[in-house]
Amino acid sequence: MKYRILTNEELQHLEEDLKQFLIVNGIHAEEWATMNQETPEKAVQLVEVFSDTVLQKVYEKLNFLEFRSPDSCMLFHLLPEKIELISLQSTDKNCDLSSVESIHDALQNNVSNLNFFKSEKPYHSTRESAIHELIESGCVVSSSEFWNVLKHVLDVK
């Protein structure tokens, strides 16, 4: 398995896609039911392949991820050959960076209590594997707008 198996909730949302995947692979409803009863390990292998296929497509489309905690905010720009990072670190324990509103407030009123860091590096494996690792470590999808705001603030500093 390249990434991870989709959760039951994710599979429920993708039920029609899974059915189409099974049909393309020559497995119809009756065969799927039989496989689940008689050779469940084979059914799990098919769900693993489906999961990897879905996650690969999702990861190929992602361009920005972020990770927030009370004392830091890290934003990742996922380029084809490298990953760029903008990091904000709070030096004030009263400055919270865990929400959009608190980051906005910190940029407006406490910028002197923030350390900014920017870096870039090539992917150590594939782009999609790096994205998977970031998501597994707690990153969530972000936006180009957030990236551009932080980049502008960093460029002004």
Query: If you write DSSP's letter for every residue of 105-125 in order, what string do you get?
Result: HHHHH-GGGEEEEEEEEE-SS
Indicate if 54 and 113 belong to the same structural domain.
no
Judgement on whether residues 16 and 49 belong to the same structural domain of the protein? yes
Q: Residue 41 sits in which domain range?
A: 8-61
Query: Can you tell me the distance from the alpha carbon of 82 to that of 95, in angstroms, rounded to the nearest whole number?
Result: 31
Q: Is the dihedral of CA 59, 155, 152, 114 positive or negative?
A: positive
Tell me, yes or no, if the pTM score tops 0.75: yes
Domain end, chosen from 19, 45, 61, is at: 61
* Residue 5: pLDDT over 80: yes
Residue 132 inside a domain? The answer is yes
What mean pLDDT is predicted for residues 92-117?
86
Indicate if 112 and 126 belong to the same structural domain: yes
Count of structural domains within the chain: 2
pLDDT digits (tens, 9 = 90+) for 108-149: 887 888 898 899 999 998 999 999 999 999 999 999 999 998
Do both 51 and 72 map to the same domain?
no
Question: Has residue 2 been placed in a domain?
Answer: no
